[in-house]
Structure 1
Amino acid sequence: MPNSSLTTLTARGLLLDMDGTLVNSDAAVERVWRAWAAEHGVDFADVLKVVHGRQGYSTMAVLLPDRPMEENHADNRDMLARETAETEGIVPVPGAPEFMAALAALPHALVTSADIGLATARMDAAGLPMPDLRVTAESVSASKPDPEGFLKGAVELGFAPADCVVFEDSPAGIEAGRAAGMRVVGVGERAAELEPTAHVPDLTRIRIEALPDGAIRLHLTD
């Protein structure tokens, strides 16, 4: 592959974001949030700058800084219902089915800003298996870019943060992974300029190797 380079990382556990990393839900997210922006008089271009990777109430707090947080949480419940029902156009990120199959017997967890209902709807729509271990919106008190979700994921897997690698696509998610003291593989165009530890255009560029001592070696081609 011309002008490509290979990066190798070794980890004990992998922590996987969902939207933009495993599942391409951009069309569904943008339909729902475009309607929200119109309802609240917010420029949709401003929404796009912050919506990816965050819980809805956190996005609202950035866009409507003077609105009481309890209103954001109430609005977020409505948005979750809308997003859970909006599955048209949701597809796996290229290489996601093979990537998840390669991880099936290896330590990994989903760490997503979606709640369990939304996560299940989107993983099902994309035809991807739901990991046995997952940290969803119900599991944390703070949204990405806070590192709480990734730190909880590491605890669930039983590994130190330094032994985990995060897969993320958004600025909020990459910031959260770094703040957790983890290495971050950036996936997709959004992640390319965010200075992750390594970057891949999609999941077809990753080869998973299970090592005899139980560690996981990642072979990444950019």
Structure 2
Amino acid sequence: MRVRAVLLDLDGTLVDSHAAVRRSWQRWADAVGIPLESFFHRTHGRPGHEVMAEVLPERPLAENLADNRALLADEIEDTDGVRALPGAARLLASLAEMPWAIVTACTEPLARARLAAAGLATPEVLVTSEQTDAGKPDPAGYLLAARRLGVEPAWCAVVEDASAGVRAAIAAGMHVIGVGGPVEPAPTWELAGLDDLEVLPDGVLLRLVGSRVHRDGAPIST
């Protein structure tokens, strides 16, 4: 797979922050009196205030924005258990000679806190929630990362684990590598994890190892 840039999601792709995220949302759910399990599945890869608006549609936007700021501040302080996912450090090291970026629904302080807690490098191009008007599945974040790297979207590969992120990358016209389990819609390629993704020495070729490849929706064993 020949590309000119690699764009990566953060939570669930490079770092495991599930426990910390769940703790923060549990505190919010308790405060507003809604069972966490009724909506937690909606939170992955999306701005918190958008999820809050879906859960409490009659609530003023200002209250959701304020609660989201408090939730994010809580998550910056609570990095207990945040760790790099298998293959993440090796993959980022192999990207040193080619353009790459992280595109995340986190704020910049939260993204940096999680990368530091996981012991992972911070890229020069880090696209966070403050920099776009809409979060995933809107393609704005991935398109902004491509512009900053000076690479056309069609030459970018996106590595994602969440449905919202896959939809964003597809809408941006990029190749999508799904990791960690099946999502809908199906990514271009699907891998068990980052250990199945290699960057070859020429810096522009990705090799998918032991992957299931999706073309036109049909799984092909490789």
- TM-score normalised by structure 1 residue count: 0.90
| TM-aligned CA deviation for residue 93 of structure 1 | 0.8
1:199 to 2:190 alignment: yes
Contact 2:163 2:184 in 1 (8 A): no
> 1:193 Cα deviation (Å)?
5.2
- Give the Å deviation of 1:56: 1.1
* Residue 72 (structure 2) aligns with: 80
How far the C-alpha of 1:192 sits from its partner, in A, is 4.5
Q: Deviations over 1:62-116 (max 9, x none)?
A: 2222212222111111111001111000111111010111111211011011111
Output the CA distance in 2 between the equivalents of 1:37 and 1:71. 14
The TM-score with structure 2 as length reference comes to: 0.90
Q: CA deviation at 1:183?
A: 1.3
Q: Which runs of 5+ in 2 are unaligned?
A: 212-222
Alpha-carbon distance between aligned partners in 2 of 1:77 and 1:157, rounded to the nearest angstrom: 29
Q: Per chain length, whose mean CA-contact separation is higher, i.e. which structure has more relative contact order (CA < 8 Å, sep 6+)?
A: 1
* Displacement after TM superposition at 1:217 (Å): 2.6
Aligned residue type for 2:16:
N
2: CA distance, partners of 1:221 / 1:104: 24
Of 19, 34, 59 in structure 2, the residue corresponding to residue 27 of structure 1 is: 19
Q: Report the residue type matching 1:140 in the other structure.
A: T
Quote the Cα distance in structure 1 between the aligned partners of 2:198 and 2:97. Answer: 15
Aligned pair partner of 1:208 in 195, 199, 203: 199
Show the counterpart of 1:105: 97
- Aligned residue type for 1:205: D
1:219 corresponds to which letter in structure 2? L
Tell me: CA distance 1:35–1:209, structure 2 relative to 1, closer, same or farther (3 Å).
same
SS at match of 2:93: helix
In angstroms, what is the RMSD of aligned CA positions?
1.4
- Residue aligned with 1:11, SS: coil
Counterpart of 1:49 (choices 3, 25, 41) is 41
Runs of 4+ in 1 over 2 A off after TM superposition: 191-194, 214-222
Task: Give yes or no for the alignment of 1:217 onto 2:206.
Answer: yes
SS in 2 for 1:165: strand
- In the alignment, which residue of structure 1 is the partner of 2:174? 182
Gaps of 5+ in 1: 1-8
Cα distance in 1, alignment partners of residues 172 and 101 from structure 2: 15
Q: 2:4 is matched by which residue type in structure 1?
A: R
1:139-190 deviation line (CA, Å, top 9, x unaligned): 111111111000101101111111111111111111111111111111112x
Percent identity over the alignment is 44
Letter in 2 for 1:17: D
SS at match of 1:15: strand
